[in-house]
């Protein structure tokens, strides 16, 4: 934690250049499907044959995890759920889980937030109410129950600080100063603050410095956290960017159907992932 | 008057929510949302936070805000389901009999923190309602000394309504839904429960409830759960919309 840089944000050519910076074996913090996901980078990771990634769902995972798992890029996931929402179960995650080929650390949403918030503050752990008596506590390697030091006979659960190697997400805007704007999707800020490196693709580049704008500044993640950005118009597709474009529900349904079988998933990769999307 | 099963369940949910200030409703829960908006017709100050709302989401601090609100006691009612639910109100969202489910989401926290939780699962079968869950995502009760604000209030299925008896740690059958084929309820329920000698039928929706459901409620629900609204109300938002199928026919 001591050697984190005061970043000068680098500007990369695109999603494939960005994907090359994410090392095999990295722990990658990712948002849920309703928050902007850097889907074009996810596809680029499959194209470059990324290996042994550990995915951290903040607090849950969806399409991006299912594609990376199906493509053999993932060794482990820690998450509160993997789901395609209205499109149903995440088929490649489910198949890998049932075949025992994927290490899964099950969590619950606020324990993941709490572990990241501990890292934001630079403290080793943070307590959270509830959860005690859940089998999650038995199986999770990093959760401990202590007695509240301020009251007798009051057990309380601790989340160990979580430090992802990489935060990866998509944003509506980046600016020339290297800040990115995520609006109300503040789980992205939590991931960015807690991670050793932060990679962001964006829809549009704004001239100047958004932090100089009182309206835009509160929705920004300061460049101090941002390692590198890259342009990727419609880079969240088939997921959405709130206020810009919505989730492509029809495509999600198509994916859910195709990915039911390993063969169908291969066809999906051929059609939508392995050939670079013209953008 | 004919009604759809979803309408009956929504009316039950409206009664179960009761007189509270703030209801939060998770993803993929159109029936609880329908019940909450039905209740709001008579109680306009009821705050309903739909977590899955794609636009105009009630939170500004990202996905952790719901949990922070609940941790402070600002959420009165929440809904949970389960791939399995057992007789001690434990729920399992992780795995059973070699099958993997999506995961526990926020259940292990919300079940403790919300003022009360309504368990809702339409499928009423021995596969879902089991003696003991294979994995406890969130426990139905906690031993003395463990801080816990809330817990289960009731379990509503497509066939019946059970009330949770915290002191006995057992469900009590409160009513069975009309026409739900619940003659042999014990045969399709994997856990043991208490029941009165005469089991009442679940109260049917009233005409005024149905008018509200098919008018203003259908409109609101259609914005957030279009598929559901189309299925139940035929995509119509007008009062008196013809119902395609109903268990009360």
**What ipTM was assigned to the predicted interfaces of this complex?**
0.94
In terms of domains, do A19 and A146 share one? no
Q: How far is CA B225 from CA B17, B34, B63, in A?
A: 20, 10, 20
Q: Give percent above pLDDT 70 in chain B.
A: 92
Neighbour tally for A163: CB within 10 Å: 17
Within a domain: A89: yes
Within a domain: B242: no
Average pLDDT, chain A: 95
Which chain B residues touch A106 with a CB distance below 8 Å? 94, 103-104
Within a domain: B248: no
Rg (CA), chain B: 18
In terms of domains, do A86 and A167 share one? yes
**For residues A248-260, average pLDDT:** 96
For chain B, the straight-line distance linking the first and the last C-alpha, in angstroms and rounded, comes to 8
H or E, element range at A267: helix A262-272
Nearest CA in chain B to A83: B102
The pLDDT, as a whole number, for residue A277 is 55
Are the Cβ atoms of B54 and A79 closer than 8 angstroms? no
In terms of domains, do A31 and A125 share one? no
Within a domain: A41: yes
A85: alpha, beta or left? (left if phi > 0; alpha if psi -120 to 50) = left
Q: Nearest-CA neighbor of A185 among A268, A241, A255, A128?
A: A241
Contacting residues for A214 by C-beta, under 8 A, at least 6 apart: none
Contacting residues for A203 by C-beta, under 8 A, at least 6 apart: A170, A171, A172, A173, A232, A233, A234, A235, A241, A244
In terms of domains, do A142 and A239 share one? no
Task: Walk across the sheet containing A143-147 and list its strands.
Answer: A125-128, A155-160, A143-147
Within a domain: B240: no
**For residues B190-214, average pLDDT:** 95
Residue A44 to residue A48: CA distance in whole angstroms: 6
Burial of A65 (0-12, 13-18, 19+ CB in 10 A): buried
Closest to A81 (Cβ–Cβ): which among B65, B104, B136? B104
Q: Which residue range is the domain that position A98 belongs to?
A: 10-108+162-247
The count of structural domains within chain A is 2
Contact B114, B77 (CB under 8 A): yes
Q: How far is CA A139 from the centre of its chain?
A: 22
**For residues A68-89, average pLDDT:** 95
pLDDT band for position A229 (cuts 50, 70, 90): very high
Within a domain: A240: yes
Q: Give percent above pLDDT 90 in chain B.
A: 80
Q: How far is CA B165 from CA B77, B109, B142, in A?
A: 17, 21, 14
pLDDT band for position A138 (cuts 50, 70, 90): very high
Average pLDDT, chain B: 90
In chain B, where does DSSP find H-type helix? 5-17, 30-42, 65-72, 107-113, 207-212, 218-224, 226-233
Phi and psi (nearest 5°) for A163? -125, 90
* Total beta-carbon pairs less than 8 A apart between chain A and chain B: 141
Within a domain: B171: yes
Label the pairing between strands A143-147 and A125-128: unpaired
Within a domain: A100: yes
Within a domain: B79: yes
**For residues B231-236, average pLDDT:** 79
Neighbour tally for B44: CB within 10 Å: 6
Within a domain: A275: no
The count of structural domains within chain B is 1
Closest to A190 (Cβ–Cβ): which among B55, B64, B104? B64
Using DSSP, state whether B134 is helix, strand or coil. Answer: coil
Nearest CA in chain B to A80: B105
Q: How far is CA A2 from the centre of its chain?
A: 23
Model-wide pTM > 0.80? yes
Q: Nearest-CA neighbor of B60 among A223, A118, A219, A119?
A: A219
Rg (CA), chain A: 19
Contact B58, B81 (CB under 8 A): no
In terms of domains, do A134 and A190 share one? no
The pLDDT, as a whole number, for residue B235 is 53
Within a domain: A139: yes
Helix and strand numbers, DSSP H then E, in chain B? 7, 12
Which chain A residues touch B142 with a CB distance below 8 Å? 132-133
The pLDDT, as a whole number, for residue B245 is 35
In terms of domains, do A156 and A172 share one? no
Are the Cβ atoms of A156 and B107 closer than 8 angstroms? no
Which chain A residues touch B64 with a CB distance below 8 Å? 59, 109-110, 113, 117, 186-187, 190
Residue A70 to residue A97: CA distance in whole angstroms: 11
Q: How far is CA A194 from CA A164, A212, B180, in A?
A: 7, 24, 51
In terms of domains, do A89 and A53 share one? yes
Residue A212 to residue A220: CA distance in whole angstroms: 11
Contacting residues for B167 by C-beta, under 8 A, at least 6 apart: none
Name the more confident of A234 and B184: A234
In terms of domains, do A97 and A187 share one? yes
The pLDDT, as a whole number, for residue B237 is 45
Within a domain: B241: no
Is the pLDDT reported for residue A1 higher than 80? no
Which chain B residues touch A134 with a CB distance below 8 Å? 104, 108, 136-139
DSSP-derived secondary structure letter, B78: E
Residue A175 to residue A229: CA distance in whole angstroms: 10
In terms of domains, do A145 and A183 share one? no
- The CATH number of the domain holding residue B114 is 3.40.1080.10
In terms of domains, do A82 and A172 share one? yes
The pLDDT, as a whole number, for residue B181 is 66
Q: Which residue range is the domain that position B212 belongs to?
A: 5-233
Closest to A79 (Cβ–Cβ): which among B28, B99, B103? B103
Handedness of CA B211, B216, B220, B222 (dihedral sign): positive
Neighbour tally for A250: CB within 10 Å: 10
pLDDT band for position B56 (cuts 50, 70, 90): low
Q: How far is CA B237 from the centre of its chain?
A: 23
Six-digit token pair at A95? 């198949």
Which chain A residues touch B102 with a CB distance below 8 Å? 60, 81-83, 89-90
Nearest CA in chain A to B30: A86
Name the more confident of A125 and A86: A125
Six-digit token pair at B127? 């596969």
Closest to A135 (Cβ–Cβ): which among B27, B71, B135? B135
pLDDT band for position B139 (cuts 50, 70, 90): very high
Residue B75 to chain A, least CA–CA distance (Å): 14
Q: Nearest-CA neighbor of A110 among B109, B72, B82?
A: B109
Which chain A residues touch B61 with a CB distance below 8 Å? 184, 186
Contact A109, A59 (CB under 8 A): yes
Closest to B137 (Cβ–Cβ): which among A132, A134, A184? A134
Which chain B residues touch A156 with a CB distance below 8 Å? 147
Is the pLDDT reported for residue A78 higher than 90? yes
Six-digit token pair at B182? 């619940």
Using DSSP, state whether B137 is helix, strand or coil. Answer: coil
Nearest-5° Cα angle at B147, B142 to B151:
50
In terms of domains, do A14 and A88 share one? yes
Residue A23 to chain B, least CA–CA distance (Å): 27
Are the Cβ atoms of B63 and A134 closer than 8 angstroms? no
Within a domain: A236: yes
Residue B37 to residue A236: CA distance in whole angstroms: 32
Using DSSP, state whether B152 is helix, strand or coil. Answer: strand
**For residues A143-159, average pLDDT:** 97
Is the pLDDT reported for residue B246 higher than 60? no
């Amino acid at each position: 934690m001591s050697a984190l840089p005061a970043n000068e944000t680098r500007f990369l050519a695109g999603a494939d250049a960005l994907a090359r910076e994410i090392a095999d074996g990295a722990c990658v913090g990712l948002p849920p499907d309703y928050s902007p996901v850097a889907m074009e980078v996810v596809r680029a990771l499959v194209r470059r044959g990324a290996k042994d990634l550990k995915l951290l769902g903040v607090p849950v995972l969806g399409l991006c995890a299912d594609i990376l798992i199906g493509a053999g890029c993932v060794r482990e996931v820690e998450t509160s759920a993997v789901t395609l929402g209205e499109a149903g179960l995440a088929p490649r995650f489910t198949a890998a889980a049932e075949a025992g080929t994927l290490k899964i650390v099950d969590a619950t949403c606020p324990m993941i937030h709490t572990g990241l918030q501990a890292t934001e503050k630079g403290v080793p752990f943070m307590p959270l109410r509830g959860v005690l008596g859940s089998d999650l506590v038995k199986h999770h390697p990093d959760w401990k129950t202590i007695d509240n030091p301020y009251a007798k006979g009051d057990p309380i659960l601790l989340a160990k600080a979580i430090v992802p190697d990489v935060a990866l997400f998509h944003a509506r805007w980046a600016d020339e100063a290297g800040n990115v704007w995520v609006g109300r999707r503040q789980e992205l800020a939590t991931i960015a603050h807690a991670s050793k490196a932060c990679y962001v693709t964006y829809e549009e580049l704004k001239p100047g410095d958004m932090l100089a704008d009182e309206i835009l500044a509160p929705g920004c993640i300061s460049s101090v956290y941002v390692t590198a950005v890259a342009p990727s118009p419609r880079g969240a597709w088939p997921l959405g960017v709130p206020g810009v474009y919505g989730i492509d529900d029809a495509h999600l349904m198509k994916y859910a159907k195709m990915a039911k079988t390993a063969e169908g998933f291969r066809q999906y990769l051929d059609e939508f992932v392995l050939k670079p999307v013209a953008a | 008057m004919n009604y759809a099963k979803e309408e009956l369940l929504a009316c039950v949910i409206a009664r179960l929510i009761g007189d509270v200030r703030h209801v939060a409703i998770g993803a993929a829960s159109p029936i609880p949302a329908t019940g909450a908006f039905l209740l709001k017709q008579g109680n306009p100050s009821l705050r309903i936070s739909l977590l899955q709302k794609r636009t105009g989401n009630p939170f500004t601090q990202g996905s952790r805000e719901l949990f922070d609100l609940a941790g402070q006691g600002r959420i009165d009612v929440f809904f949970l389901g389960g791939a399995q639910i057992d007789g001690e109100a434990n729920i399992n969202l992780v795995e059973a009999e070699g099958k993997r489910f999506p995961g526990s989401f926020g259940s292990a926290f919300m079940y403790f923190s919300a003022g009360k939780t309504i368990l809702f699962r339409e499928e009423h079968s021995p596969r879902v309602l089991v003696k003991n869950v294979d994995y406890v995502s969130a426990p139905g009760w906690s031993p003395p000394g463990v801080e816990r604000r809330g817990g289960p209030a009731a379990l509503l299925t497509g066939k019946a309504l059970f009330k949770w008896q915290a002191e006995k740690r057992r469900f009590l059958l409160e009513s069975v839904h009309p026409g739900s084929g619940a003659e042999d309820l014990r045969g399709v329920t994997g856990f043991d429960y208490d029941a009165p000698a005469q089991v009442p039928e679940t109260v049917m929706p009233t005409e005024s409830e149905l008018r509200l459901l098919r008018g203003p409620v259908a409109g609101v629900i259609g914005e957030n759960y279009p598929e559901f609204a189309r299925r139940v109300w035929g995509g119509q938002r007008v009062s008196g919309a013809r119902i395609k199928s109903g268990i009360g026919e």
